[in-house]
A = this chain, B = another copy of it.
């Protein structure tokens, strides 16, 4: 049977432990093409590079494995890989991560890891973003490995519905199982650490606290807190459907003004 082709990317850059773990799992399951950011791209969301050109570097080429870096964002990586390798036929699977830190709940909208997964899904490829909910510098990815592997195998075998990708977050330590979840409500309560440079000018470092709102059974934050891997099927439509009719009435009044 022909081996599947797996595209691997992330947002923590090619130098991160998480992508190395993901590459080693992917190589057991198929032929692997890596297109990963050269530099850390955390928090780059779905951003693209259009005002400057992109560069890409071939780092390694072996039987069943090629590794490129791209001096752009995770979404750039997916778009450039699509252009260079998948003009005729897409990859059988795109995996992004394993991110060093949570992309559960509202973190998804800031996440470069999930930006890459969502972009892949827009290109028509089955895609999964993996994140480890552990912020320690020496975070242990080994607990995550069997779950990452099993979920990848499932998607290779059964694909995903058109327009849907998966946001998979993995708790640190012993794992109780997998829960399919909705995205929890939360926001970041931001602050800035305001400093003065040696020339007397102000500058600001972003800091902040994650604030869950009404965590409830069935959402990804609760699943992770209970020691489960959270799997959220994710799509691109941001329409607030429940408010369409309310706004129709309001906008009719606005027109009359």
Residues of A in contact with B (beta carbons under 8 Å apart): 40, 42-51, 53-56, 73, 75-76, 79-80, 82-83, 106, 108-110, 112, 115, 118, 122-123, 150-151, 153-154, 158, 161, 163-164, 167, 177-180, 182-183, 185, 187-188, 190-192, 195, 201-206, 231-241, 243-244, 246-248, 250-251, 253-255, 257
Contacts and interface: CB of A to CB of B under 8 A. Distances in A.
Contacts of A55: 201-204
B82 A183 contact: no
Contacts of A56: 202, 204
A181 to B, nearest CB: 8
Q: How many copies does the complex hold?
A: 2
A203 B53 contact: yes
A135 B110 CA distance: 28
A83 to B, nearest CB: 5
A231 B247 contact: yes
Given A83-B191, A109-B118, A247-B231, A43 B53 contact: no
5 contacts: A45-B48, A48-B110, A83-B190, A167-B238, A180-B244
A247 B190 contact: no
A232 B201 CA distance: 41
Nearest to A111: B46
Given A53-B195, A161-B240, A235-B238, 4 more contacts: A53-B203, A55-B203, A82-B190, A179-B251
A244 B203 contact: no
Nearest to A243: B233
A115 B48 CA distance: 13
B153 A257 contact: yes
Contact of A178 (B179, B201, B254): B254
Nearest to A106: B236
B54 A48 contact: no
Contacts of A108: 238
A12 B253 CA distance: 31
A237 B40 contact: no
B239 A182 contact: yes
B241 A182 contact: yes
A255 B45 contact: no
B150 A122 contact: no
Contacts of A232: 238-239
B42 A50 contact: yes
Contacts of A188: 122
